[in-house]
Amino acid sequence: MICFELSEEQSVMKETAAKMVKNLIADNAHQMDEDGHIPDEYLNTFWELGTTPYMIPEEYGGYGMGASPLMNSLVLEELAAGDMGYAVAATLPGLMVQAVLDLGSEPQKEHYLPDYCADTYTTGTLAICEKHFRADPVEPRTTAVKKNGSVILNGEKCFVPMATRAEHVLVGAQLDGENALFIVNKNTPGMTIGEREKNIGPNTLETFTVSFNDCEIPAGQQLGDGQDQQYQKILHRTRTALSAIGTGIARASFEYARDYAKERVQFGEPIAGRQSVAFMIAEMAYEVDSMRLMTWKAASALEAGNDAARSSYLAKLYAGEMAMKVTDFGVQVLGGHGYVRDHPVERYYRNGRTIAVLEGMAAV
């Protein structure tokens, strides 16, 4: 049954995340972005809300509440409205957990999930982007070759979030013409984490290029039974997540521009009184709503266990386009003031561009 209203539980979750962002992130986001650093304390504050252990069933050490793609979408939007890098970093453990829960074998769940029930922030990561022109997560150039009960990985991944802090790295690679995911434990010989990457944004998120040179792992570390079908399922979750993140960034830009336009006086009245400005703001408003509804549609499909290929793909495609459009308007409404780093709209603009390009990062 279609419903456009949040349940009580969903509202509470959304408000909790929003409050945390307001208290912790809102006033610190600018400095974190300038510093290129998220204090551990902020990651632990979110960790202590328990969202990661909540997803993990009791038999693996968690609280066993299960994960809800819709809830995760709400949380991601709130966090991303505060800061995109924070949204990814804080929820990154969940990405690993979701992948193992969704696609892992029983022994894999038993082996890996307990690590994510720790008292303090503990994370894994996903290595799915590649550097070359026209890179495509469904056509990875990273290869996996089976040999004597092992798998040998070769290739290079980029935009791997928090790689130096990850207990485990999930790597997308091609095995005998099929796409598969492999779990590589930290410090495995043959896996080299490069210098921290420098990107247009999000500055707060540490991302790395990770190289695999004859990196050997046990065959049992191929996630689940490794069908291409399953690999795609990760993308459904990550694309929906990026759509939620894009919605948050766009919303932040819209709200800031809206409030600014009402205060800024030129030609004797607030600039919001001029149609050229007001119409930009109107478009920002309904595109943010559209992005959110498309995110929810994909998240609902995932929640119901239905095929989310089309809805997640279209949601992310739309969010990528609209995050750019909305954040562009955000800078434009502020004019020259939108161009300097004193206001956050330039940060939203830089981060907004990445939605269309990135894959992975987060999962619902």
Q: Residue 28 half-sphere exposure, CB side, CA atoms within 13 Å?
A: 17
| Alpha carbon distance 129, 244 (integer Å) | 19
10 touches another protein by CB under 8 A: no
Distances (CA, A) of 225 to 179, 180, 317: 11, 9, 29
Q: Residue 356 half-sphere exposure, CB side, CA atoms within 13 Å?
A: 13
By CB under 8 A, the residues from 224 to 263 that bind another protein are 232, 235, 258, 261-262
| Alpha carbon distance 285, 264 (integer Å) | 19
Nearer to another protein, 113 or 242 (CB): 242
CB of 274 to another protein, least distance (A): 8
Q: Which stretch binds another protein (CB under 8 A): 192-200, 206-214, 266-274, 346-354?
A: 266-274
314 touches another protein by CB under 8 A: yes
Would you mind telling me the total number of residues written for the chain in this entry?
A: 364
User: Which of 168, 297, 350, 353 is close enough to bind another protein by CB under 8 A?
Assistant: 297
CB of 314 to another protein, least distance (A): 4
Q: Which stretch binds another protein (CB under 8 A): 37-45, 55-63, 271-279, 343-351?
A: 271-279
Binding mask 44-83 for another protein (x = CB under 8 A): ----------------------------------------
CB of 281 to another protein, least distance (A): 6
Q: What contacts 176, CB < 8 A, 6 or more positions away?
A: 146
* Contact between residue 91 and residue 71 where contact means Cβ atoms under 8 Å apart: no
Burial call 155-165: b when 16+ CB within 10 Å, e when fewer: bbbbbbbbbeb
User: 202: helix, coil or strand?
Assistant: coil
User: Which of 318, 329, 348, 349 is close enough to bind another protein by CB under 8 A?
Assistant: 318
How many residues contact another protein, by CB under 8 A?
44
CB of 5 to another protein, least distance (A): 8
Nearer to another protein, 189 or 305 (CB): 305
CB of 90 to another protein, least distance (A): 27
102 touches another protein by CB under 8 A: no
User: Which of 62, 137, 246, 344 is close enough to bind another protein by CB under 8 A?
Assistant: 137
Tokens of 134: 């026209």
265 touches another protein by CB under 8 A: no
Q: Residue 210 half-sphere exposure, CB side, CA atoms within 13 Å?
A: 33
350 touches another protein by CB under 8 A: no
281 touches another protein by CB under 8 A: yes
The vertex-246 CA angle with 241 and 252, nearest 5°, equals 130
CA-nearest of 194, 313, 333 to 264 is 333
138 touches another protein by CB under 8 A: yes
Give backbone dihedrals phi and psi of 209, rounded to 5 degrees, phi first: -90, 130
Residues that bind another protein (CB under 8 A): 2-5, 134-139, 232, 235, 258, 261-262, 269-270, 272-273, 275, 278-279, 281-283, 285-287, 289-291, 293-294, 297, 309-315, 317-318, 321
